[in-house]
Amino acid sequence: MELKQKEQRKIFKDVFDKSTIDAIWKLIRKKELDGLDYLISTGKEANVFRVLLKEKPRACKIYRYETTSFPNMGEYIQGDPRFEIRKNRRDLIKAWCKKEFKNLELARNAGCRVPRPYAAHSNVLIMQFIGDKEAAPTLKETILDDYKSAFWMIANDLKKMYQAGLIHADLSEYNVLIWKGETWIIDMGQSVLLSHPKAKEFLKRDIKNMIKYFKEHGIKYTEKELHKHITT
């Protein structure tokens, strides 16, 4: 119990440094949120909170400046004409957050089921909350009635993303939420444009992860078949 409290305090100290608090205040003034509700997740690079605006939930992803290890960040942001390469780590994290906003926007405009992004400021992203009281579970955490339909929902979203010129680049059962029988693809900070030198490689890896997961659940499409569905 005590350890848990200590851990919690450490998380809050790491997440809410002065400039992050300033960014949140700015978003409060812009009426993007009016209160924090609770911490949903502590990831490698970011913390996700359920926040409120007029008592309705939104999701707030805060990229950490302090405890972040962004070993491969450069690999995903170099080669993206939308973002000039920055040397400063804090600027890189801010660009990453803006990149996630833009990627979600692009995917959503292409008709994919991804959280609607509302605002991004510095290292803080506000987006649609998937779930109600609790956040929707990930594909990893859920047992589905119908794996085939989930497979096709994801496959079709990947196709729409591809047609819009975007590759997710970190797709797995951890980055898909299941809500009311529908799949929601999340976590798009690392997503790249098709013009990125490694786009094809990242697409292959996404496909591989999907096929592996669904194979374990009785869906027997091949990587080649899914690749063809997405790219033609």
Q: Which residues of 148-181 are buried (b: 16+ CB within 10 A; e: fewer)?
A: eebbebbbbbbbbbbebebbbbbbbbbbbbbbee
32 binds ligand ATP, rule: CB under 6 A = no
Residue with smaller CB distance to ligand ATP, 126 or 230: 126
Told to check if 175 binds Mg ion by CB under 5 A, we report yes
The number of beta carbons lying within 10 Å of the beta carbon of residue 223 is 15
Q: Which residues contact 141 (CB under 8 A, 6 or more apart)?
A: none
Nearest to 182 by CA among 130, 222, 219: 130
Q: What's the rounded Cα separation, in Å, for the pair 61 and 207?
A: 26
Residue of 59, 106, 153, 199 interacting with ligand ATP (CB under 6 A): 59
Residue from the set 17, 26, 119, 131 that interacts with ligand ATP by CB under 6 A: 131
126-165 footprint of Mg ion as x/- string (CB under 5 A): ----------------------------------------
Judged by phi (left if over 0) then psi (alpha if -120 to 50, else beta), residue 115 lies in beta
Q: Which is nearer to ligand ATP, 64 or 227 (CB)?
A: 64
Comparing CB distances to ligand ATP, the nearer of 59 and 203 is 59
- Which among Mg ion, ligand ATP, none contacts residue 92 (Cβ within 5 to 8 A by kind)? none
Backbone angles phi, psi at 64, to 5 degrees: -85, 135
Q: In the complex with ligand ATP, which residue's Cβ is closer, 174 or 221?
A: 174
Q: Which residues pair with 120 in a beta bridge?
A: 125
**Which of 7, 22, 35, 41 is close enough to bind ligand ATP by CB under 6 A?**
41
- 107 near ligand ATP, rule: CB under 6 A: no
Catalytic residues: 170, 187
**Helix 223-231 and helix 147-163, axial crossing angle in degrees, nearest 10:** 40
Nearest distance in Å: CB 222, ligand ATP? 27
* Residue span binding ligand ATP (CB under 6 A) among the ranges 142-150, 151-159, 160-168, 181-189: 181-189
Segment near ligand ATP (CB under 6 A), from 15-23, 128-136, 146-154, 202-210?
128-136
Phi first, then psi: give them for residue 47, nearest 5 degrees: -115, 140
Least Å from the CB of residue 166 to ligand ATP: 16
Amino acid in position 226: L
**CB-CB neighbours of 217 under 10 Å:** 14
Residues that bind ligand ATP (CB under 6 A): 40-41, 43-46, 48, 59, 61, 115, 127-131, 135-136, 138, 175, 186-187, 189
